[in-house]
Structure 1
Amino acid sequence: MLETNITKSTFQFLNSLKKNNNREWFAEHKTDFTTESDKVKSFFNNVLEKLKIHDEIERLKVFRIYRDVRFSKNKTPYKSNFSASYARAGQHRRGGYYLQVEPGNSFIATGFWNPEKEDLLRIRKEWELDTAELVAIIENPKFKKVWGQLVGEELKTAPKGFDKEDPNIEFIRKKQFIFIRKFSDKEVLSNDFIDQIDESFKMIKPYFNLMSSILTTNLNGESLLD
């Protein structure tokens, strides 16, 4: 049976790991890790089953607890969170979902993290033409109450080939198109956390529909798919 809740013991383990982030401690507590990891993976799979009711999901990826320290200044060997991503199925469905559980830093995220060069240009060209549909979606009070503002890395000025005085420059200069919803520890441990996640992911659908339409057509609205 799939887990429906995140438990206090998971937070206790992650807090202890954060304080004792070394291989010796982890080896001594490997059984605890396995127990908590299995529970959280079960929870992630439960989220997947709920997502499948209203979206087509190609893949669930549960991220490893082990950190890649080769190119990082932070040499601690383990992450202090459990996290997963959900990839949408099919060329005509763009965007993805992310879920992270960590004491004091739990959140869900969705959108477009690092669009490929061609996709980024296509998005910018669309915003150069018109942002009315985008604004109508992301400024909707119900949407905004759940997801807040569009966030992500952006240029300080206009990208090459675009007018810095363009009325839609605030969108054109973005490099990422992300929404993030944070949760308190109390919310994560509540009985309805999984429902809050699912309702939030449902709310993003109009945004995904718009962006998927943009990324699968040219500026004339003609399909780019075979």
Structure 2
Amino acid sequence: MEPRRARRAMKNNKARKVIAIVAAAAVAGVGATLSLAAWNDTEWLFASDGTGGPGITTSTFELEQVALPAAGTAPATVTWADFEANPGNGVTFTLTDLTPGDATYALVALRSKVGSLGGEATLASAVAANGVTVADAGGHLWNATDLRVATWNGADVTATKACNAATFGGTGNTTIASGDLGTASGNAAQTYAADAGDVNFYCFELTFTVPGTLPTGITVDDYMGRSIAPAWKFDAVSD
């Protein structure tokens, strides 16, 4: 081969090698001008209670009740419970068969639950108890029954007072309802300490009073053998 042609072939071979090396470097991602733009990282946090549980929760507000002996003696057992729907707790009055002028009594205690917020509650007027069969056509016994409710506050149910006629106007007691059974309601709210901190006592008095002037077409006999089952609701709100 001539010297000139040999030198040209060698030069072409060198050029091809340089091009191949550059191309390989580009494919491999190496080169003096390539660099990483930034480091990557992620961080998380959550609302915690300090022990790994959820840190955002809601408070609770709940009242509970228990029926007590109207005589004011300490109950043999105390079982607090919720009764949030009509007819509610079945409370037994001292007399069940009334003659004109008779009064009958029942004592109930309410408090906030353990762990509950404090608040206040107001007694609503009586309504018929759901699901309880009565015999009072025309509502004559209901309309002839008067209601009084007295309340007081105490530390616990074992040291309550009696619920009777002397309760009304007694020291430390407040009469919050007085009038016809179907319309008399609490005229003031009772406050409740949080976390079962105190107890509010309610003395219910029902008096059967036959009116002096009877409704048209009604005789005294029409009041005999009748029955009613009034139910009361406490409307409560938290602090």
TM-score scaled by length of structure 2: 0.31
Asked which structure has the greater RCO (Cα within 8 Å, sep 6+), the reply is 2
TM-score scaled by length of structure 1: 0.32
More strand per residue: 1 or 2? Answer: 2
More helix per residue: 1 or 2? Answer: 1
